[in-house]
Structure 1
Amino acid sequence: MKKMLIKTIAWIAVIILLPYGCYKSFQTEIGTAETAEAAIISGLPTNATEIQYYLPGAFGPNRVYEFKTTEEEFIKWVERERSKDPNVGEIEVRGFRMLRYSPSKESLDWVVIDNGLYSSWHYTDQGKYFGFDRSTLKAYFWSHTR
Structure 2
Amino acid sequence: MLSVGEVAKRSGIAVSAVHFYERKQLIISTRNQGNQRRFSRDVLRRIAVIKVAQQIGLSLEEIKAALDTLPKHKAPTAKQWQDISSIWQQSLQQKRELLDKLDSKLDHCIGCGCLSMSKCHLYNPQDEQGATHVGAALW
Structure number with larger C-alpha Rg: 2
TM-score, scaled relative to structure 2: 0.25
Which of the pair is proportionally richer in strand? 1
TM-score, scaled relative to structure 1: 0.24
Which of the pair is proportionally richer in helix? 2
